[in-house]
Amino acid sequence: MSRVLIIGGGAAGMMAGVYAARRGHQTEVLEKNEKLGKKLYITGKGRCNVTNACDTEELFPAVMSNSKFLYSAFYTFGPEHVMDFFEQAGVPLKTERGNRVFPSSDHSSDIIRALERELKKAGARIHLRTEVKAVESDENGVTGVRLADGSFLPGDAVIVACGGLSYPTTGSTGDGYRIAQETGHKVTELKPSLVPLKTKEDYIPLLQGLSLKNTGLTVKSGKKVVYKDFGEMMFTHFGVTGPMILSASAHIGRYLEKGELNAYLDLKPALSAEQLDARVLREFEAGQNKQFKNVIGVLFPSSLTPVMLKLGGIEPEKKIHEISREERLHFEQLIKAFPFTITGMGEFKEAIITRGGVSVKDIQPQTMESRKVKNLYFIGEVLDLDAVTGGFNLQIAWSTAYLAAQAIE
């Protein structure tokens, strides 16, 4: 039996704590907040998308960085194990669109309570308001941790589960990266990911609050299409956000570093250019003597009308029968390719995850143990691993946590 010290009582730390304690280790979860799982609480808009019920091999394409490193982790403790774990722990689950798994209650607090219950049941001890400042080691490996109050806690194994840098108000303030560097590990460049995008045009803030459900998005760097998707998005006072935009942010970062990107929204993705023309003609024929501004409102949400009029190149008061074919086709082009310029990404405080982290080259993929310091483990978001939305980031936390807990002797 070992004394296992876990730094961080978030998703990864709690799961590791449960399995380490179930294996009979004296397990101490050290969390600097006044409660466990503060970030888990806000996941999935308070509903917690705990995993993705896809086949294990489908997890890999959802991981943006170092997906191969997760081979053992995903195959040892995959989505079906996560679902089993929570159902056995008394949390019924349901699967929604895109295989996203949520607690049936729609309450993330049920996930946190279940983990806390399992921790206690297995005999783990939880220390709240306990901030770890440093990991200490000698030539044989870790010896323990130094707390913020200066005291030393001895341990046979230490698991770093401090999370990343995103939403720092939840406790993820990057301590794990500092601890990793101080113990001789490489930390790759840290960037916010799954984050809203900033835009240039002054008409975007005018649309603040408008949400579009079935929209196509194309992002171009010069002439090259660098991203294409379909889904839901929202306009904000500084740019765009929503599920489709967050996913785009995970893909376009490296192009954005080279300069601004041109983006286009297809407001009628279900219609071809010809079908849209037929649709617009129907509206035009029905309103021959009406003014342009009074006819187009049926084609898209009414709050878009002022901006569409501004960009459309047709006098708002012009009578429908006076509009030329060229003018009509030009307006239809605007509907199929509503333009805006992406100038930058949002910041850490509004990012779902951190890209970059403890280099996976310094970590053994079968155990999550450091290659530099014996009995020191890194799990969850602190590692240089990140995935798209859909429950994949929590799956990374659960899978890596399980491996570390199983590996400790």
Largest CA distance in the chain: 87
Which two tokens mark 139?
A: 């030539």
Residue with smaller CB distance to ligand FAD, 312 or 391: 391
Give the nearer residue to ligand FAD in terms of CB position, either 122 or 134. Answer: 134
Beta carbon nearer to ligand FAD, 161 or 261:
161
For residue 279, give the 3-state DSSP assignment: helix
Neighbours of 68 (CB within 10 A): 9
Tell me, what amino acid is at 185?
H
CB-based contacts of 383: which residues, under 8 Å, 6+ apart?
357, 358, 360, 363, 368, 396, 400
Instruction: State the virtual CA torsion across 370, 372, 375, 376 in degrees, nearest 10.
Output: -60
Report, in Å, the least distance between residue 47 CB and ligand FAD: 7
Would you say 25 or 355 has its CB closer to ligand FAD?
355
Tell me which residues touch ligand FAD (CB under 6 A).
7-13, 30-33, 38-40, 42-44, 48-49, 131-132, 161-163, 166-167, 170-172, 175, 352-353, 380-381, 391-394, 397
CB of 119 to ligand FAD, least distance (A): 14
How far CA 161 is from CA of 13, 32, 78, 171, 290, in Å, comes to 5, 12, 19, 12, 64
CB 396 within 8 A of CB 380: yes
- The residue behind tokens 């605007």 is 334
The residue sitting closest to ligand FAD, measured at its beta carbon, is: 10
Measured distance CA(127)–CA(31) in Å, rounded: 6
- CB nearer to ligand FAD: give 226 or 353: 353
Q: How far is the CB of 56 from ligand FAD (least distance, A)?
A: 16
CB of 330 to ligand FAD, least distance (A): 40
**Nearest approach, Cβ of 163 to ligand FAD (angstroms)?**
3
d(CA 319, CA 292): 6
CB of 378 to ligand FAD, least distance (A): 10
**In terms of CB distance, is 156 or 175 closer to ligand FAD?**
175
| Min CB(292)–ligand FAD separation in Å | 42
Identify the bridge partners of residue 7 per DSSP, sorted by sequence position: 30, 160
Token readout for 192 is 């916010």
Q: Is 180:8 a contact under the CB 8 Å cutoff?
A: no
CB of 207 to ligand FAD, least distance (A): 23
Cβ proximity to ligand FAD, 8 vs 312, nearer residue: 8
Residues 6 or more apart from 313 whose CB is under 8 A from it?
Answer: 327, 330, 331
Q: Closest Cα to residue 346, out of 132, 134, 193?
A: 193
Choose between 196 and 239: whose C-beta lies nearer to ligand FAD: 196
